[in-house]
Structure 1
Amino acid sequence: MPRADDFTVRHIGSSPEQITAMLDQLGVASLDDLIEQTIPASIQSKNEFSLPRSLDENRLNKLSRQIAADNTAAISMIGLGYYGTVTPPVIRRNVMENPDWYTAYTPYQPEVSQARLEILITFQQMIMDLTGMELANASLLDEATAAAEAMLVARRVAKSKSSRFWVDQDCLPQTIAVVQTRAEPLGIEVVVGDTEDEIENGEYFAGLLQYPGASGQVREHAAVVAKLKSQGALVIMAADPLALTLLKPPGEMGADIAVGSTQRFGVPMGFGGPHAAYMATHEKYKRALPGRLIGATIDVNGNLAYRMALQTREQHIRRDKATSNICTSQVLLAIMATVYAMYHGPEGLTRIASGVNRLARALAQELKSLGFEIVHDQFFDTLLIRVAGQAKRIQDKAEQAGYNLRLVDDDHLGISLDETISREKIVGLLEVFAGTTAEQVSGTLFDIDLPQSIPDDLKRTSDFLIHPIFHRYRSETEFMRYLRKTASKDITLARAMIPLGSCTMKLNAASEMEPISNPLFAHIHPFAPAKHTKGYHRIINRLDSMLCEITGFDGFTFQPNAGSQGEYTGLLCIRAFHHAQGNAQRNVCLIPSSAHGTNPASAVMAGMKVVVVKCDQHGNIDLADFEEKAEQHADQLAATMVTYPSTHGVFEESIKEICDLVHANGGQVYMDGANMNAMVGICRPAEIGADVMHLNLHKTFAIPHGGGGPGMGPIGMKKHLLPFLPDHPVVRCNRGGSSPLGTVSAAPWGSPLILPISWAYMRLLGKHGLKRSTQVAILNANYIAHRLDPHYPVVYKGKSGRVAHECVINLAPIKEACGVTVEDVAKRLIDYGFHAPTMSWPVPDSLMIEPTESESKEEIDRFCDALILIRAEIREIEQGKATLENSLLTNAPHSYHLLVKDDWNAPYSRERAFFPTEAARHNKFWPPVGRVDNVYGDKNLVCSRPPMSDYA
């Protein structure tokens, strides 16, 4: 029996007695016996897992605070895209720390996602207003990757057919680096420069400008914009949204695409992330936008509803024809930034921006009086100061006084201000430069009429954030109620099981989440001195060690800030390895037809040619077809991408043979770690034959999905690939690798603020808890398969009749017999209080179900009972007792509007519609809308916030 204080008891949903009952139903004596039946003995690790024992929650939280204390939260004035900000407590408590927001899934089921969708369309409205553009997407991963995505959008839609891309050298260094990394495999030549002559003397398909520049300079850019457009090139502008409250927006300056980060809208720096980036453009480019676009539509009752628009753009549908591999985006952080703008309104944001700018002007004026030269006299919040060979000395002196400044070179320092910088802090900094006391330097510094730093022709004159939603909530009472009322529209883990196959919606324990609110984790700049970030590096190094032990790999990089970015980075490592071996011709990637859709998209982005391998009737990779194609492309074979256990939820017996075939033909094995939750503590991917693998920390290792991000996709690899780990232009992070592949994310370690969650997860569970979690995840999936198989055939099973951590049930015979679709079943599940499983993937007309180890037998039974009762409702249609056109399923979900409708004309009772089970009577989820009309929404595309009258 586990100890009373063993966190495993908290994490695993079922009691030992319930586990025994499920095993009995399966006719299995123990969890160990079930694993022996499920996982081939050949891939089970023979070596003991050397992992720490579990900690109880109190000791874990004490240790977390001790580690955080090794960080130094200095006054950060480094800038370069990262700024101190104040998260209003009402937002921190009601959004950032609220499981109703952070445990939500991606809004593929719009009827149970109206809260996230409503905020995300408001995010789009906010970005459109600030940038002066016609259309914005619903967030991206970070500013640097958004700029790289914009480069690819421009290449697709620009009139110019050039393969050259111009980048202003005053762009952020991490942005330049990511753009260069992304461009090289695709044959794009990046030219970094600072003169108009470079544009005039060469043809480009687009150019990238920073506004304000990394140096702080605010420039008009009119001549550069004109010259680029004269070539048929597009203009991309990376713009700071806080600055745009005072500056002329990119849309009014001729920009075609605007990108940037919303970090300083109330989202902590977190040593680099997670933060939501944005992209805005002209409406004519709507089908070229990467990521997600939220649109307004109506439901079947004519009520306003939201959904993800133009869903055929989703990359898992386009596969190797995809133009981006974006899968998750930083939804939780986009929500935080949006409600921050709602909290402050346009007047509050303008007040913050004006305050920052005034302090910058005051600092500039006083530094001039002390004899220092301010290089640019046009700026928003950042000063470039010439200090004549004294830069390092002054930076060190400032650090001793508690300030972190940016060292540009021996003669220049950069100083960036933000909303956390006060008059007192400015005075303290001036003491550093003047070498005098505060009384001597302060004077009338803040009272004098200061010179303007934004020229009149660059000042904003257009209104922004005019929608009433940005003016309505100034009382905290009303704002708190708005957040709570809105959150109640969604099904999240805080309400019910979310049984999504391949998505691993498990418990995100409060103890694991606590560190993200600790200021010593939250308020650290990613480019802070290493001696100020020792706590973060303790977490990162310990995570690296534990993940190496779990997977068998020799090292990890944490730079990829999403699973899709992990895929891309891993393939770049393989590509770099082949090039270093003199095998640049190796560019073929074998990918099974069942693979995640991001796999082929990532391969194409990494400059590889995708060759699809068939799957057999049992869902396994067709070994004969694989061998034939591996040998056919032996001279060009770069890699294979394989998900294990398979996307069909089976441990394929031939996995080692597949790995051997790839290696024998000169390739490398990339293993997709989406299903690692079925292997932790039992199998090591490196021992199976994988050379590189990404791990979804937001799946297997308990970082919450956040409504579609944050995610983390670190990659582990064997020793021969370690020299090719990504690096960073500002902070070295590849541990001395000889041939780094470049930079793949804006921050050196991706999104470090959420790494303590996975560290805490592993420390709380310990060696035995991690293994038991895997065993129970497999038990729960097999129990569901056992209960549902008589009603909905389970499509794929292993040799012993077992599934892995998920199962696929087939609804195709039902559709053929009576016309009921998988979507009908998914929507009817909402009436029972459940989010639907993954629909029609990887098999058409199927549901892929993954319960995870965190769900109790009681909740699993409630879910199975719901599906079994729905099968009985389908049978009524099959038997002619009900019509398909006016049935419980085709009318689902039944929104609350129908409850009080006078003309109830359905051939079934309201009771059956709204309260199909006793459980629904006691804990009813009321769908805020009926079935959403996607066709209407795409025909009448509206991606801005509708007027308030539409909510009446």
Structure 2
Amino acid sequence: MQGSGSLSNYQDFEDRHIGPSASDEAQMLGVLGYSDIKKFIADVVPENIHIAKQLKDVLDGPKSEVDVIAELRQIASQNQVFTSLIGSGYYGTITPPVIKRNVLENPAWYTAYTPYQPEISQGRLEALFAFQTVICDMTSLALANASMLDEGTAAAEAMTLARRSSKTSDDAVFLIEEHVHPQTKAVVITRAKPLGIKVVEVDSGHVARDGFDGEFFGLLVQYPDTTGEICEYSQVTQYAHSKNALVIAATDLLALTLLKAPGEWGADIAVGSAQRFGIPMGFGGPHAGFMAVRTGLERSLPGRLVGQSVDSHGNPAFRLALQTREQHIRRDKATSNICTAQVLLANMSAFYAMWHGPKGLAQIAERIHGFASRLQKVSSSRNDIVFDTVTVDVKNAEAIHKAAQAKKINFGKVSDTAIRISFDETTTEKTFADVLEILGLSNASASQIADSVKRTSAYLQHPVFNTYFSETAMLRYLRTLADRDLALDRTMIPLGSCTMKLNATTEMEAVTWPEFASLHPFAPVEQTRGSRLLIDQLSKWLVEITGYDAVSLQPNAGSQGEFAGLLAIRNYHDSRGDQGRNICLIPSSAHGTNAASAVMAGMKVVVIECDDAGNVSVDDLKAKIAEHGSALAALMVTYPSTHGVFESAISEICELVHDGGGQVYVDGANLNALVGTAQPGKFGADVSHLNLHKTFCIPHGGGGPGVGPVIAKAHLAPFLPNHPMDALAGPATGPGPISAAPFGSASILPISWAYIRLMGGEGLTHATEVAILNANYMASRLKSSYPILYTGNKGLVAHECILDVREITKVSGVTVDDIAKRLMDFGFHAPTMSFPVAGTLMIEPTESEDVIEMNRFIDAMIAIRGEIQEIIDGKIAVEESALRHAPHTIGAIAATNWERSYPRERGAFPATLTGLIPGELIGAKGKYWPTTGRIDGAYGDRNLVCSCPPIEAFA
């Protein structure tokens, strides 16, 4: 490829990103009866919503990969990477190179999906199990989940968990200690208001001595607190428990290597961020938040939970446990709306703990504490006991900050006469000497942590944290885990509604650049101009693409974007005196997060029925609008629908809701079918969230990170999120932050920026067209084997299609689960199962899959249909079939005894030996072997094990 200049091939990346070639497109169009892709799209997308202005006319043309990297370098150079000793929950850390190269930069780890299919997810499930163990051990609490979005949202989720679990009255308030990190306070308050929860800020010491005048259901404390003080919370915890309240500790994992664990002094819940376990600050994220709870609260725990179960051969195996708590099952009754979490970052933090082990972590913590204790001795410190942070009284804070910045050091701002200094893993003696010089202080010797708060209990004693200390050992362990998973680097992942498209290497490159990765989210504006420029440009492009007017990139998951959008609607109604509008209409086919988010925003969910064609029933919508009248707040609808079709009545639906005084929220989960073809902001929607981890190429990471921007029309713009630590992060009239960092997961925004820049408007439009073409090609080839449940105009689908397996199940006993597990023997990840309709499979190939890979999958599905026919014809019983015994491990195939009713070869190599299809599906890719048999989910829930056993278990 050429660099810049007239010889540059600007179409090159588009051809790399889109799987089918021009001849492939022509062939697929021919199968569907078309000769022109534009005519095909005109039949798929309703005419009344067709885009008015082509994206190529509003977005700059495509750039080559070389040119895009050069432009990103120029943007990055506008950031100034100072040594940030600001603290407040964000700290310098060192990512071990073996983890950076072999996890963060490895598509085997970052292109996987949430491990709903555990038999092909054992690697990342094991890593998450280790992460949960880290959290349980460090906090001394019984159970931890597999990550939260960040510390602020974890604290907010803990508040609602406490509300559900406390036996206090509905009028009880929530207490926050005055020295909790300010961004955490603000996120909790934003979350509390629509739920009718009153938040009261208190001095926990006063509460411990004098009590609290009133009923409260929970207390949130920071440990160590934001000033650096290590408070002794056992007395206030005892008082809270006497009042039937729960105590939540927002804590620091590294500090807990030296300090008494929250569980040891009585905390019921611990939350925090694992950022300083090897994850760069990244201008705010992404980082793995965490939550741990005491025994008795496990079924109220939000988010994913990895548990240990057994497979069909009696071997231990991992799976997602207690899923009935979650939004995709319980909808508006779920414990949380969380879907995407921070799996990639949680795994990295777990590996960081393994790399250093308990001794190494303690050494890092002791070194950090040494710097803090030395500064505390010689300064006018406000603190009594510290770990890493010292608040210092000074005569002129502004002058101190200027002197520090002259040495490229940032201190935390407290007041005109006080500063805060937080040391971290990257602090050097040179930096410490500079700090003393700036403050005009002499050096001193370090001291130990006070005995009154010192930890004496052991942690991380399991062998997994005491084995992989050489790079060779760690490298091989990481490879072993990766080989147990099935990600996009091996095969297509045709999950409907998940958009598992290419995450191109060029798009990923800037994520680890220090100019983006090493910025503190509260660094001065003048040091972060590059990141802010990138954010502004990306925001402008997203507005142009969607037809809206304003956007906030703060939500760090689609679920949080939903919450932010519904909150904007609520606050808009309130601003007009319509406080009574609290009904959110949601179709029965909606994503589970929709209903859960509506409840979080203080709304009541009313379900709208779908008609026989899978569309929103306009008649039922009219009836519900009339029934609820002035209480109507919003309609929340996905477009194209979760049934995989473009509903022709969408503009009419929007108009009906507006006429009823409501607002229209269009879920952006399926935006990959709209970019360049239709704009929600133009066909009647008021607000949406987008999934940059779907449509705009941020990888799924095995279950996160994600970015879920909320994007709105002008009248809702004043109600988008803002942030107390950054006046430029949102409108002054906003509701407060919904994520801990001002711009959410800012360090991965260069991925989406690069994707749009590389493709240009015309390339983005073509990607959408091919995504729709691919889905229709697969539907056309599969419909004779599996009925397509819903279709739109001329029998066409949108970017995904639903295969109806219900009749097959009736006549054969074969379930969607059987088909999903059998696909693993063919080397494929299953489509989405039983959503949005039970007993179905939803397929979304995206534009990135080429015809060869799609044909491999189609042929595998046809082969499976042939195996089903053998069951229907009575040639083999379903209980004895390869389908019911799938997946087949190499251990099962190689076992001495083979007592099944089909040959070993069919179990191991179904593609080449069933005789049902011509050719070899496995081909040069090699056989993928699932590492476990089918996993028993019920056993895992009945016998809940969610962390590694104590060392005594190995005696």
Q: In structure 2, what residue type is equivalent to 1:920?
A: I
1:62-107 alpha-carbon deviations (Å, 9 max, x no partner): 1111111111110000000000000010000000000000000000
2:828 is equivalent to residue 822 of structure 1: no
Equivalent residues of 2:11, 2:62 under 8 A apart: no
1:75 matches 2:67: no
Q: 1:115 touches 1:490 (CA, 8 Å); kept in 2?
A: yes
Out of 438, 446, 457, the position equivalent to 1:432 is 438
2:701 paired residue number? 706
1:899 CA drift (Å): 2.2
Name the structure 1 match of 2:591: 596
Aligned counterparts of 1:810 and 1:877: Cα–Cα separation in 2: 18
**Cα distance change on mapping 1:469 and 1:738 into 2, 3 Å:** closer
SS at match of 2:910: coil
Equivalent residue, structure 2, for 1:377? 384
Aligned to 1:774: 768
C-alpha RMSD of matched pairs (Å):
1.4
TM-score, normalized by length of structure 2? 0.96
Measured in 2, the distance between the counterparts of 1:148 and 1:938 equals: 26
Q: TM-score, normalised by structure 1?
A: 0.97
The change in CA–CA distance for 1:651 and 1:167 in structure 2 (over 3 A counts) is same
1:219–1:516 CA distance, 2 compared to 1 (3 A): same
CA offset at residue 938 of structure 1?
Answer: 1.3
CA distance in structure 1 between the aligned counterparts of 2:604 and 2:296, rounded to whole angstroms: 30
Task: Write the deviation string for residues 744-796 of structure 1: whole angstroms up to 9, x where unpaired.
Answer: 00000110011000000000111111000000000000000000000000010
Query: Which of 706, 717, 725 is the equivalent residue of 2:720?
Result: 725
Measured after TM superposition, the shift of residue 195 of structure 1 is 4.5
Q: Distance in 1 between matches of 2:865 and 2:9?
A: 41
Letter in 1 for 2:896: D
Residue in structure 1 matching 2:581, options 586, 602, 619 = 586
Residue by residue over 1:538-569, the C-alpha shift from the partner in whole angstroms, topping out at 9 and shown as x without a partner, is 11000111001001111100111000000000
Pick from 307, 321, 327 the counterpart of residue 315 of structure 1. 327
Deviations 1:792-815 (A, max 9, x none): 000100021100000000000110
Aligned partners of 1:163 and 1:187 also within 8 Å: no
Shift of residue 620, structure 1, vs aligned partner: 0.2
Deviations 1:440-482 (A, max 9, x none): x66xx36x3x344x32121000000000000011110011011
Give me the whole-angstrom Cα distance separating, in 1, the residues matched to 2:103 and 2:138.
23
Opposite residue 124 of structure 2, the aligned amino acid is R
- Post-superposition Cα deviations, 1:272-292, rounded to whole Å, max 9, x if no partner, equal 000001100112111000001
Shift, 1:311, TM fit: 1.5
Q: Is 1:868 the counterpart of 2:826 in the alignment?
A: no
Residue 160 of structure 1 deviates from its aligned partner by: 2.2
C-alpha contact 2:113 2:702 (8 A) present in aligned 1: yes
Q: Is the 8 A contact 2:461 2:951 kept in 1?
A: no
Q: Which residue of 2 aligns with 1:437?
A: none
Q: Does 1:141 align with 2:149?
A: yes
Counterpart of 1:850 (choices 844, 853, 870) is: 844
Within 1, Cα distance between the matches of 2:146 and 2:204? 34
Of 806, 817, 821, the residue aligned with 2:800 is 806
**Superposition deviation, residue 946 in structure 1:** 5.0
- For the residues of structure 1 that align with 2:780 and 2:9, how far apart are their CA atoms? 31
Separation of aligned partners in 1, 2:167 and 2:621: 41
What is the distance in 2 between the residues matched to 1:528 and 1:169? 23
1:734-773 aligned within 5 A: 734-735=729-730, 737-773=731-767
Aligned-partner Cα distance in 1 for 2:454–2:833: 50
Looking at structure 1, the residues matched to 706 and 451 of structure 2 have their Cα atoms a distance apart, in angstroms, of 42
CA distance in 2, matches of 1:938, 1:628: 42
Q: Corresponding residue for 2:66?
A: 58
Q: What is the one-letter code of the residue matched to 1:21?
A: Q
Q: Which residue of 1 aligns with 2:51?
A: 45
Moved over 3 A (4+): 2-5, 195-199, 946-951
| Cα deviation digits, residues 681-736 of structure 1 (max 9, x gap) | 1111111101001000000000000000001100111111111111111112344x
Aligned to 2:201: 192
- What are the ranges of 5 or more consecutive residues in structure 2 without an aligned counterpart? 1-7, 912-919
Whether the aligned pair in 2 keeps the contact of 1:165 and 1:207 (CA below 8 Å) is yes
Alpha-carbon contact 1:332-1:707 (below 8 Å) kept: yes
Of 245, 265, 269 in structure 2, the residue corresponding to residue 257 of structure 1 is 269
- Inter-partner Cα distance in structure 2 for 1:321 and 1:883: 39
User: What is the count of residue pairs matched by the alignment?
Assistant: 932
- Which of 837, 840, 851 aligns to 2:831? It is 837
> Given residue 831 of structure 1, which amino acid in structure 2 is its aligned partner?
D
Letter of the 1:823 partner, please give it: D
Greater Cα offset, 627-636 or 917-926 = 917-926
Distance across 1 between alignment mates of 2:369 and 2:115: 38
1:89 aligns with 2:83: no
Residue 633 of structure 1: CA displacement?
A: 1.4
In 1, the alpha carbon distance for the partners of 2:518 and 2:538 equals 21
Q: Which residue of 1 aligns with 2:4?
A: none
Tell me what 1:438 maps to.
Answer: none
| 8 Å Cα contact 1:553-1:716 kept in structure 2 | yes
**CA distance in structure 2 between the aligned counterparts of 1:315 and 1:768, rounded to whole angstroms:** 37
Where 2:922 maps in the other structure, the secondary structure is helix
1: CA distance, partners of 2:655 / 2:830: 38
Q: Identity, % of aligned pairs? A: 54
Q: Secondary structure at the match of 1:890?
A: helix
Residue 670 of structure 2 corresponds to residue 675 of structure 1 = yes
Corresponding residue number in structure 2 for 1:174:
183
Rounded to whole Å, the distance in 1 between the matches of 2:950 and 2:400 is 53
Tell me the distance in 1 between the aligned counterparts of 2:233 and 2:125. Answer: 36
Give the Cα separation in 2 of the matches to 1:461 and 1:672: 50
Q: CA deviation at 1:422?
A: 0.6
Distance 2:536 2:10 in 1: 30
Secondary structure of 1:937's partner? helix
Offset of 1:624 from its aligned partner? 0.3
Letter in 1 for 2:742: P
Give the counterpart of 1:503 among 498, 511, 516.
Answer: 498
Q: Which residue of 2 aligns with 1:527?
A: 522
What whole-Å deviation, never above 9, does each CA across 1:654-685 have from its counterpart, x for those lacking one?
Answer: 00000000110111110100000001011111
Secondary structure at the aligned position of 2:229 is classed as: coil
- Indicate conservation of the 8 Å contact 1:304/1:950, yes or no: no
Shift of 1:947: 7.8
* 2:629 match: secondary structure: coil
Q: Which residue, out of 918, 921, 928, partners 1:919?
A: 921
Q: How does 1:322-341 map to 2 (within 5 A)?
A: 322-341=334-353
Q: Distance in 2 between matches of 1:760 and 1:631?
A: 46
Q: Within 5 A, what are the aligned runs for 1:361-510?
A: 361-366=373-378, 368=379, 373-388=380-395, 390-434=396-440, 445=443, 448=445, 450-452=446-448, 454-510=449-505
- Partners of 1:73 and 1:365 lie apart in 2 by 29
The letter of the residue matching 2:433 is V
Contact 1:734 1:740 in 2 (8 A): no
Deviation at 1:5, TM superposition (A): 5.2
Once the two structures are TM-superposed, the CA of residue 222 in structure 1 deviates from its matched residue by 2.2
Contact persistence 1:733–1:749 (CA under 8 A): no
Residues 1:225 and 2:220 are matched in the alignment? no
CA contact (8 A) 1:200 1:227 kept: no
Whole-angstrom distance in 1 between the partners of 2:374 and 2:204: 31
Q: Give the drift of 1:323.
A: 2.7
Letter in 2 for 1:905: E
Q: Distance in 1 between matches of 2:217 and 2:10?
A: 64
SS at match of 2:829: coil
Q: Which stretch of the first structure deviates more once superposed, 632-641 or 845-854?
A: 632-641
Secondary structure of residue in 2 paired with 1:477: helix
Partner in structure 2 of residue 615 of structure 1: 610
1:246 aligned to 255, 258, 261, which one?
258
Contact 1:6 1:54 in 2 (8 A): no
Report how far residue 377 of structure 1 moved: 2.5
Q: 1:305 aligns with which of 306, 317, 338?
A: 317
Unmatched 5+ stretches in structure 1 = 435-440
Q: Label 1:948 to 1:893 Cα distance change in 2 as closer, same or farther (>3 A).
A: farther
- Which residue identity does 2:855 align to in structure 1? D
State the SS of the aligned residue for 1:633: helix
How far off its partner does 1:635 sit?
0.5
Provide the secondary structure at the position in 2 that maps to 1:201. coil
SS in 2 for 1:290: coil
